[in-house]
Structure 1
Amino acid sequence: MKVVFLLLPGLHLLDLAGPAQVFSTAADFGYAYELAYVGEQAQVPSAQGVRLGAETTWPELTAEDLVFVPGCGLPELAAGPRPARATLDLLAAHHAAGGTVASVCSGADVLGQAGLLDHRRCTTHHDLRDELARRYPLARVERDVLYVLDARVVTSAGIASGIDLALHLVATRHGPAAAAKVARDMVVYARRTGEASQTSAMLRHRWHLRDAVHRAQDLIDSGFCEPLPLEDLAAASGVSARTLTRQFVESTGLTPLRYQQTLRIERAEHLMSHGATAQAAAHAVGFTDARMLRRLRSRKDDAPVASVPKSDITMLDVSGAGGPRRSR
């Protein structure tokens, strides 16, 4: 699979480097990826001042291949790059031939110029969403999501979300174990889903270096709608239940249960913002009814640990709808 990055003047280095590292690391593990970098000029200036080399002739592409458009560092889409018509036609032709096109951040504007956003769901950086919607009124711009896939047009939010998107594409092609292997090698613990908020708790509570807590968070992140007994989380993390809870609180400010509930609430609110009833959203995230969801939403999501009873801090079972209960 060829992954071709279109380098345009003023591109953000991380918009490019994050996804490129994902596919490069996957290739190091034996997955068949071949990276290429193309542009309209042989030397492309980045937003950070580094000049990047690019091929000015595109490789021959098939329907299996992916074209990636990194975003640029300008505060408005109107001031961004305007590729030549021939470049936009290449993007459109690749998609029309069955290929996939993807963008990070303001790269979505280039896909819009190529006519690829019309009548499709898409997203971009939260500071640019309104402008993107104005520029392409036939597009359906999704708010507060990390990435969107719609008929082989894949768009992602700002900067680091390109890593999440690239990991998702690896997982789709080779399975979640392959993506997890790549992510761990890159020391990327927050493997967020496309519908995760751009300010999700999955990101807010990852600023620590405790490996056991990261392993527990990985399990909660991937299965927060299901009952997750504390003992099982602890066993998978290689520590005792009491040690995991203590380290979890010290690292995130939350108990494992409160962390799981926060993810459930965020997901339920996303579903309700897209038309689901409170009852349907509650069921979708693992609550038996909407009462528990309403009760938890009335609390402050990131309540300090001091407000959590001492018995809950050390003896929580991260169970389903019923809230905290003492472990045996």
Structure 2
Amino acid sequence: MRTVVFLLVPGLHLLDLAGPAQVFSTAADLGLGYEVRYVSGREDVPTAQGVTLRAGTAWPDTSPDDLVVVPGWRSGGEVPLRVLTPGQASGLAAHHAAGGTVASVCSGAFALGEAGLLDGRSCTTHHALQHLLARRWPRARVVPDVLYVPDGNVVTSAGIASGIDLALYLVTVWHGPSAAASIAREMVVYARRNGDEPQASAMLRHRGHLVDAVHRVQDRIDARFGDRLLLSELASDAGVGERTLSRAFVAATGLTPLRYQQRLRVERAEHLIGTGETVEAAARAVGFQDARMLRRLRSRPGAADL
């Protein structure tokens, strides 16, 4: 049993809390073994949306397998120098020092900074607060324009709805992509978004549909785009015939499964090349036998949209 503790700060945003809480609650419903708890400095916790929540006030016992999450709160572009009590800050630091995972949503990253957990780490927060976070914690490496940033057992996410992406990422780490995909489908979250991918990534551009069988195949391709994937295997995953899958996939995404896989490969290769890898090394890393196919795909008209 893994305990997920949400540390609630007065004025918190409901979706910062409710999104990831729903992920772990759904994980528990699916038998993955989660207990969700809530703690605050006061029993009655006002929220930015006007609903008052109830929480325990005693810091819970946690183990290295457990997770502590700090949702964000309404900041108005400014964040007080101190939002945590000394006991809360030391509790966060102690949990991390014992090997536990600590996460934040939106302005919750400032609470992690208070606890001394951002120094020397990559992190992110809401786009409107990124410059303030960098000024407040100059030893942190603030990554702009991403959904979430894992750095060891500290994971930070951007604003509001990105808390869902962070929680699904942690489920993927702990239980695999299939479990995360099952939770996403249960929550009717059809865009399984990666933390280091921009909003315009291929994984997102072709997720704006409601065909569950196609989403299941996309999940498989997303997780294994560097492998050789047979259409028969993909159709079996979707529970349909090969011709049915091909028609449904094209209708939903505008691409064949192979073309979709190629787009993911090229996009990842472009990222690797941009970080200093050779074309040959990038081609091998994404599953091409040599660089010729990668060069051919990159040279096509409209390759920037791959």
Q: TM-score, normalised to structure 2's length? A: 0.84
AA aligned opposite 1:160: A
AA aligned opposite 1:167: L
- 1:73 Cα deviation from its structure 2 partner: 4.3
The alignment partner of 2:188 has SS state of coil
> Are residues 251 and 39 of structure 1, via their aligned partners in 2, closer, same or farther at CA, if it must alter by over 3 Å?
same
Give the match for residue 28 of structure 2.
Answer: 27
> Are residues 293 and 175 of structure 1, via their aligned partners in 2, closer, same or farther at CA, if it must alter by over 3 Å?
closer
Q: Where do residues 240-319 of structure 1 align in structure 2 (5 Å cutoff)?
A: 240-297=241-298, 299-300=301-302
Give the match for residue 85 of structure 2.
Answer: 84
AA aligned opposite 1:253: G
Cα offsets for 1:15-73 (capped at 9, x unmatched):
21121112112222333322111122333333333322222222222333211011234
Query: Distance in 2 between the 1:167 and 1:29 partners?
Result: 14
- 1:4 Cα deviation from its structure 2 partner: 0.8
RMSD: 2.9
Q: TM-score, normalised to structure 1's length? A: 0.79
- 1:2 Cα deviation from its structure 2 partner: 1.9
Query: Distance in 2 between the 1:202 and 1:181 partners?
Result: 17
Q: Identity of aligned pairs, percent?
A: 64
AA aligned opposite 2:238: S
Query: Distance in 2 between the 1:280 and 1:73 partners?
Result: 45
Does 1:217 find its partner at 2:206? no
> Are residues 295 and 10 of structure 1, via their aligned partners in 2, closer, same or farther at CA, if it must alter by over 3 Å?
farther
Q: What is the total number of aligned residue pairs between the two structures? A: 304
Query: Distance in 1 between the 2:78 and 2:294 partners?
Result: 39
- 1:110 Cα deviation from its structure 2 partner: 1.6
AA aligned opposite 1:109: F
Is the deviation greater in 141-150 or in 3-12? 141-150
Please say if residues 197 and 266 of structure 1, whose CA atoms lie closer than 8 Å, have aligned partners that are also in contact. Answer: no
- 1:111 Cα deviation from its structure 2 partner: 0.8
Please say if residues 77 and 132 of structure 1, whose CA atoms lie closer than 8 Å, have aligned partners that are also in contact. Answer: no
- 1:159 Cα deviation from its structure 2 partner: 3.0
Please say if residues 12 and 74 of structure 2, whose CA atoms lie closer than 8 Å, have aligned partners that are also in contact. Answer: yes
Does 1:173 find its partner at 2:179? no
Query: Distance in 1 between the 2:292 and 2:22 partners?
Result: 44
Cα offsets for 1:124-151 (capped at 9, x unmatched):
3445444433332212233454433323
> Are residues 78 and 191 of structure 1, via their aligned partners in 2, closer, same or farther at CA, if it must alter by over 3 Å?
same
The alignment partner of 1:34 has SS state of strand
- 1:7 Cα deviation from its structure 2 partner: 1.3
Query: Distance in 2 between the 1:147 and 1:267 partners?
Result: 18
Give the match for residue 40 of structure 1.
Answer: 41
Q: Where do residues 189-208 of structure 1 align in structure 2 (5 Å cutoff)?
A: 189-208=190-209
Q: Where do residues 106-255 of structure 1 align in structure 2 (5 Å cutoff)?
A: 106-255=107-256
Give the match for residue 101 of structure 1.
Answer: 102
Please say if residues 181 and 219 of structure 2, whose CA atoms lie closer than 8 Å, have aligned partners that are also in contact. Answer: no
- 1:5 Cα deviation from its structure 2 partner: 0.4
- 1:174 Cα deviation from its structure 2 partner: 3.9
Is the deviation greater in 125-134 or in 223-232? 125-134
AA aligned opposite 2:259: R
Segments of structure 1 that go 5 or more residues without pairing to the other structure are 305-328
The alignment partner of 1:101 has SS state of strand
- 1:295 Cα deviation from its structure 2 partner: 4.5
